[in-house]
Amino acid sequence: MPKYLWQVNYTAEGADGLLAEGGSGRRDAVQRMLESVGGKLEVFYYALGSDDLVVIGELPDNVSAAALSLVTSAGGAARSRTTVLLAPEDIDEASRRSVEYRRPGADA
């Protein structure tokens, strides 16, 4: 299953909810959310700095990731960035694929 990284920032409303619910309560809610689309939570950490929360999980496909993104954005309590993660073996396979490419400005 594809792996995804989510970097999350809470809005003021989301931070209020986190204070009321607690960190482990939010972790459990995120785990249930991922499982609801056939996914699995792997990593869940709160962070100091540019992100409030970092999550890594598996999902069946990009459509599932888009569904989570839409629901989270519509909720208004958090903003997130989603990154598809690739294993070293994925890069090995990508490096063996033949790709036709012309650099911009190069002769055709």
Over the stretch 60-79, which tens digit does the pLDDT of each residue have? Answer: 999 999 999 999 999 999 99
What are the angstrom distances between the C-alpha of 106 and each of 69, 101, 102, 103? 39, 10, 7, 5
What are the angstrom distances between the C-alpha of 74 and each of 15, 34, 42, 44, 78? 16, 17, 24, 22, 9
Residue 107's pLDDT band (cuts 50, 70, 90): confident
pTM: 0.89
Residue 86 has pLDDT above 80, yes or no: yes
Q: Which CATH code is given to the segment(s) 3-87?
A: 3.30.70.920
Residue 108 has pLDDT above 80, yes or no: no
List the beta strands (DSSP E) in the chain. 3-10, 40-46, 53-58, 78-85
Residue 36's pLDDT band (cuts 50, 70, 90): very high
What are the angstrom distances between the C-alpha of 83 and each of 6, 13, 91, 100? 6, 24, 15, 26
